[in-house]
Structure 1
Amino acid sequence: MLQLAADARASVVMFRAPSAHADTETALFSNKKSKSRSKKKKSKDPNNFLIGFVVAETEAARAPRKKLTVTEEEVIDKTSYTNNMEVAREFIAGQLSDGRPDGRPDGTRHYVVVPTTYE
């Protein structure tokens, strides 16, 4: 959650987790070898997932709780999906994505950043 008391420029950067342990035969934190995978099951390449995120405004009463749904009216800004190791977006709090003021009374605004992936 991002909480801002005044209109401000905010930058959000999301990094892809390195897949250093993805190619080994042992399970994470284990000395045993993992069971052989079924030949029918195709292993997923972690680098084949596209990453992105959505910045949405939320009500102060709901800010500490998890955000399960985001409506289009709540979206302040969003990124396009990318295969890069990081994705970044800069937005101005208190404005809509097209630059117009959001028309809400001044005060503390609460934002949530929702990371998303796409295969």
Structure 2
Amino acid sequence: MPPTGGAPPPPPLPPGRAPPGGDAPAPPPLPSVGGGGRDDLLASIRGGARLKKVSDSEKRDRSGAAVPGSEPPASSGPSSGGGGDAAAAGGLAGALASALAARKSKVSHSDDEDDKDDW
């Protein structure tokens, strides 16, 4: 009869596995430190990632937050044609901008804000 109040015994090991501390196979040998494998890997990573050079005339300041429905800030350089008004652009960005604007107009005119009672 098993003892009461104690933890149950562990389940049996699956077939083909040796018990801990038994005759387990030796682990594979560690790679040699002086082989240069790590250095070669790092060198290939550094060499593989080349950044595209951008001239000063193509740089645009995008540090300001883009708020839908507001006027975009005046650009100091020539426009590259990548941005523009989101609603006029159409596509996914335009649909998202118009949906957010419609949601904002519905939420901002909510009648819940006019209630004077606390609860």
Whose RCO is larger (CA < 8 A, sep 6+)? Answer: 1
Higher strand share: 1
Higher helix share: 2
Q: TM-score, normalization: structure 2?
A: 0.17
